[in-house]
């Protein structure tokens, strides 16, 4: 496991704490392609939490959080399909999760310590909330504030006529 992306998250968090430039080529000194930060400013603020943690804890944390996020998405998918919260669904979740670890996108996210599995979990858990839920859309807005790609789900909310959730997403994104 190389944790290349995760190392850049920790370095970005430390850079924010130290008041360093994250985006200026030639000035920013992050362990990424080009040495600059590739995420939105809100992500840099979130990553400051990582800079405070002991270095020895970080590898276990990143693998554990990514594995939990993967299993949460699978479990939520079963629940969205109408399966009950029972032993069979749990076993199916663990089984599909184990099989998923061998898939290239999951394997690479685990290997590099990328945040994509966590963002996917945030988006899926948000979409799984009932349409009338007061804070539906907050997760999508937060995920888009970290990495812009999840913002496509704001378009999805609009196309599926979930205007309130889309507005909540946009407001959350803009606020962060």
DSSP 107-152: HHHHHHT-SHHHHHHHHHHHHHS-TT-TTTTHHHHHHHHHSSGGGH
Instruction: Encode pLDDT of 95-144 as tens digits.
Output: 999 999 999 999 999 999 899 999 999 999 999 999 989 999 999 999 99
72's enclosing H/E stretch is: helix 58-80
Residue 45: partners with Cβ closer than 8 Å, 6 or more residues away? 16
pLDDT in tens for each of the 176 residues of the chain?
678 888 889 989 998 999 888 888 777 777 776 778 888 899 999 999 998 998 888 889 999 999 999 999 999 999 999 999 999 999 999 999 999 999 999 999 999 989 999 999 999 999 999 998 999 999 999 999 999 999 999 999 999 999 999 999 999 999 99
Percent helix / strand / coil, the chain, rounded to 5:
70, 0, 30
Extract the tokens encoding 171: 């407001």
pLDDT at res. 122: 98
* pTM as predicted: 0.91
């Amino acid at each position: 496991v190389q944790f290349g992306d995760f190392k850049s998250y920790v370095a970005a968090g430390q850079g924010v704490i130290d008041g360093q430039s994250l985006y200026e080529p030639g000035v920013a000194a992050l362990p990424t392609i080009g040495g600059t930060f590739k995420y939105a400013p809100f992500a840099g603020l979130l990553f400051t939490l990582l800079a405070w943690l002991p270095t020895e804890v970080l590898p276990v944390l990143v693998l554990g959080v990514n594995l939990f996020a993967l299993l949460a998405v699978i479990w939520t998918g079963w629940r969205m399909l109408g399966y009950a919260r029972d032993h069979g669904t749990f076993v199916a979740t663990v089984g599909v999760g184990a099989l998923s670890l061998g898939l290239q996108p999951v394997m690479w996210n685990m290997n590099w310590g990328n945040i994509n599995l966590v963002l996917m979990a945030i988006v899926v858990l948000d979409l799984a909330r009932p349409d009338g839920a007061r804070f539906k859309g907050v997760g999508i807005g937060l995920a888009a504030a970290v990495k812009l790609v999840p913002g496509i789900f704001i378009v999805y909310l609009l196309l599926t006529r979930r205007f309130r959730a889309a507005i909540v997403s946009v407001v959350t994104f803009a606020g962060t």
